[in-house]
Amino acid sequence: MIGAGRLSCGTWVKYRDEKAASDIQQWILGFLSGAGFVGSPKTDPLQGTDGLGVFAWMDTYCRNHPLDTIEAAGVAFIFARRH
């Protein structure tokens, strides 16, 4: 794993609070889009949501798990959104 996914959820929260999170927001959308691309429609974690929904979910997760990486939060999102 390289890129913003290695940053902590605490960093996610800080950047989101400062309105400076566009790079890490785009990273998580790409990560989740890739996960949906390689799976079947039943496993697409983005089915039925949009970017704002992802960011709200990530905000909640990262406030509760500040030491997790953004990658780990993304994986938790994928498992939480399995259909």
Alpha-helical (H) ranges within the chain are 9-17, 22-38, 51-64, 70-80
- Looking at per-residue confidence, does 80 or 83 come out higher? 80
Predicted structure pTM score:
0.90
Tell me, what's the pLDDT at 1? 79
Tell me, what's the pLDDT at 44? 86
* The total number of structural domains that make up the chain: 1
How confident is the model over 7-64, as pLDDT tens digits?
999 999 999 999 999 999 999 999 999 988 876 666 789 989 999 999 999 999 999 9
CA–CA distance, 17 with 43 (Å, rounded to integer) = 31
Expressed as residue numbers, the domain containing 43 is 4-80
In the predicted structure, residue 2 carries a pLDDT above the cut 90: no
Query: Per this entry, what is the length of the chain?
Result: 83
